[in-house]
Amino acid sequence: MVWTTRIGEEHRPLLSRIREWGFDGVELFLSLDEPENIRGIKKMLDELELERTTCSVIPREVNLISRDPTIRARGVEFLTKCVERTSDLGAGLICGPLYAGLGVMTGRRRTEEEWQWAIEGLRIAARRGRELGVTLCVEPLNRFETYFLNTLEDAARLVHAVGEPNVRIHFDTFHANIEERHPPDALRAVAMDLGHVHISENDRGVPGTGHIDWIGQFSALIEIGYDGWLTIESFAEPEPELAAAAAIWRDLAPSGDELALRGLQFVKDLHRSVASHGEPYDTSLQKLGSGAER
């Protein structure tokens, strides 16, 4: 999504560059319509030796926790089909706020009924995922994007309530920067349930150029033995629909290519530095960020 939510054969040169730069895989936005040609995209990624994950959101009209049982049923069907399309793409993981309609606000706290509806819907989709070898990672969002799930602690409660081994937590540094009192400690507390990580600066710009506590969070990830994906999520060239959904009203980077390249270098440099020095490593985020920019 650094570049686009709509991917097709015309993006082969971009995907080839991504591989040459040193990325191990790509994360594709997934819906019932995108990618349009699942078989063709899978073939292209296989040929380029790029692994893949998918990221999806629940549309308002198929809200998994709606009071309308018909809408809830459509939500379960939508999520289950997304799990199936993830498998068809050759991916083993789908992430995102997979529990409620994106942007739906009720003006109150979540209810126990909504909590149970989310559990029921996720459980059905997860059982289909188990058949296909697909893991579902649920992402807590900040309070301005959802009222339903904002913290890693609540995400862990939801994961445990669903009770399926292929339902795990998706951690996003951008949202945690808003909602968690101490993101590194929050990560340590959910170590056994962590399944996916999104790397995103506090302004969703180039990783390493803002005030996220990168050293603290990478130290925690190394400490708990996390060995899953670190996916850069930002929106340097968003389509109008994505820009509106993510509230992007200005340029976050000169281009998607620059954001990805600088972000990749920053993540690799940061991981190398933290891993070699350990948590007490006494350096500044600004120094690491400056090194990434070179």
Over the chain, what HEC string results?
CCCCCCCCHHHHHHHHHHHHHCCCEEEEECCCCCCCCHHHHHHHHHHCCCEEEEECCECHHHCCCCCCHHHHHHHHHHHHHHHHHHHHCCCCEEEECCCCECCCCCCCCCCHHHHHHHHHHHHHHHHHHHHHCCEEEECCCCCCCCCCCCCHHHHHHHHHHHCCCCEEEEEEHHHHHHHCCCHHHHHHHCHHHEEEEEECCCCCCCCCCCCCCHHHHHHHHHHCCCCCCEEECCCCCCCHHHHHHCCCCCCCCCCHHHHHHHHHHHHHHHHHHHHHHCCCCCCCHHHHHHHHHC
Q: Residue 233 catalytic?
A: yes
Q: Residue 223 catalytic?
A: no
User: Catalytic pick from 27, 34, 114, 139?
Assistant: 139
User: Catalytic pick from 27, 114, 233, 237?
Assistant: 233
Catalytic residue IDs: 139, 233
